[in-house]
Structure 1
Amino acid sequence: MARMRTKRNIPARMEKCHERWFDAPMLNKGNWRGACGFAPDVPVWLEIGCGKGKFCTEMALRHPEVLYIAMERDASVTLAAIEKAHELEIPNLFFIRGDAGIIENYFAEDEVDRIFLNFSDPWTRQNKPKRRLTYRDFLAKYKVMMKEGGAIEFKTDNDDLFDFSLGEFSEMGFSLEEETRDLHNSEYDAENIRTEFEQKFADQGITIKRVVARM
């Protein structure tokens, strides 16, 4: 997929959608429900790397009973997602512009119920596996943030990344559910929401891999 061009007037456009994001999201650590105006028992779902927002907007609309937080580090990409949520007036969708490498600074222990990792960078270059969002060091951080019984939903087009991730999940004590190497021809596709990348890969005939890793 072609790289998105840098958008103009990012600060002004972000300000118009200010109800969707926070200037200092780290201050919400341990209080995301309160900061977003939700009850203490509302489930928190987190998407790491939300791209242009197709998946998070559809998931938030489909599940109004949850507080959905979408995270993305690229300013132009984040803006596209935030403007989409602002236009649709989705009350339960909020955004973090930040780096997953310091995700422990954003969420407290047992604060997140579910994590979504969709088409994360496979980091296929030599000596880069530690950058993968399914590497055991990241999983250790997720385990602290997540409630017991919580789950990570992981999708990718990359076979090597999928195999690597299955091994990391198992090594870190997650149980594997709903595993498939051809999501769009599986029983799990009925509830699946396709991301922008996912649709492009599918159009190229690339099969999509998916697994749910549960605490």
Structure 2
Amino acid sequence: MTYPDIRPFQSHYLKAPRNFQPIEKQVMENHPVCLEIGAGKGKHACLFASNHPKLQLIAIERTAEKFQAMQKSQREAGLDNLTTIHADAIPWVVHALYPAQLQQIFLLYPNPEPHNSTQRWLNMPFFEYLLSRLQVGGTITLASNIAEYIAEAVEQLNQVWKLPFELQKTPQDSARTHFEIKYLQRGELCQQIIITKPQGYQTRFDDIQPRLGQAHEA
């Protein structure tokens, strides 16, 4: 068995986020499930949920102020297929999501971590765990306005993760997030990588079930 050449993610050490509550079973079962990590004020989340009523989107944001803004937008739009979560995404994913549960994952304009490259998504062991939650044929969309970030991600996909992907230039009229609007108005090059999980792709976490709040954080 050949796994990605990266140290294993230590999922068993992660405590559940504060006030963790599993997603209601009927919510997860009624629609295909998608995930957005770092959803900010929820512009993309609300737009996606509105345009895809048959999909269930879980949108996670760690910053309280941004989460509250997203929650307000979700309520005002009356989007029953959007679930907003205030938590750190990594422990939440470990405690809440099942193997091969997600149809799509969105990582739109993540923090480029200029002083700590090991915290970039495709450099983290957690990325292998995240892949285990993605179904065969599912996609991950990673968007950034930083050319070096995109170039590094492409290198990691080729050398470490060995996943098929498509590199795309973001259209000038795209307006998925507040950051994207700002960057495009400045004339910056915004790009996205669409990563696909192929048939037969295996991780070390394919049989690991969610912990569902075990060992809650005090």
TM-score, structure 1 as length reference: 0.77
- Please provide the CA RMSD for this pair: 1.9
C-alpha change, 1:135 and 1:106, in structure 2 (3 Å) is farther
Letter in 1 for 2:156: E
Instruction: Report the equivalent of 2:196.
Output: 214
Q: Against the structure 1 CA distance between its residues 88 and 23, is the aligned structure 2 distance closer, same or farther, given a 3 Å change threshold? A: farther
Q: State the Cα deviation string for residues 42-71 of structure 1 (Å, max 9, x = none).
A: 211100000111100000000001001001
Q: Which residue of 113, 127, 131 maps to 2:103?
A: 113
Kindly state the Cα deviation for residue 132 of structure 1 after the two structures are TM-superposed: 1.2
Q: Does 1:49 align with 2:38?
A: yes
Runs of 5+ unmatched residues, structure 2: 1-17, 198-218
Conserved 8 A contact 1:118-1:154: yes
Alignment partner of 2:171: what SS?
helix
Distance 1:37 1:157, change over 3 A: closer
Quick check: 165-174 or 87-96, which moved more? Answer: 165-174
Corresponding residue for residue 52 of structure 2? 63
Distance in 1 between the 2:113 and 2:28 partners?
37
1:24 aligns with 2:39: no
Which aligned segments of 4 or more residues in structure 1 are displaced greater than 3 angstroms?
none
8 Å CA contact retained: 1:136, 1:169: no
The answer on whether the counterparts of 1:139 and 1:169 sit within 8 Å (CA) in structure 2 is no
Which residue of the other structure, out of 62, 72, 78, is the alignment partner of 1:83?
Answer: 72
**Does the 8 Å contact 1:38/1:67 carry over to 2?**
no
- Number of equivalences: 178
Match of 2:215 in 1: none
Could you list the per-position Cα deviations for residues 79-129 of structure 1 after superposition, in whole angstroms to 9, with x for gaps in the alignment? 00010000110110001111123232221211111100000000111xx11
Task: Answer yes or no: is the 8 Å Cα contact 1:45–1:68 preserved in 2.
Answer: yes
Residues in 2 aligned to 1:129 and 1:35: alpha-carbon distance in whole angstroms = 39
Q: Partners in 2 of 1:157 and 1:35 — Cα distance? A: 37
Query: Is 2:171 the partner of 1:184?
Result: yes
Q: Where is the helix percentage greater, Structure 1 or Structure 2?
A: 1
Q: 1:132-174: per-residue Cα shift (whole Å, max 9, x none)?
A: 1232413201111111111101110011111111122232121
Give the AA of the match of 2:64: A
TM-score (normalised: structure 2): 0.76
Paired residue for 1:130?
118
Percent of aligned positions with the same letter in both sequences? 24
Paired residue type of 1:175: P
RCO comparison, higher one (Cα < 8 Å, 6+): 2
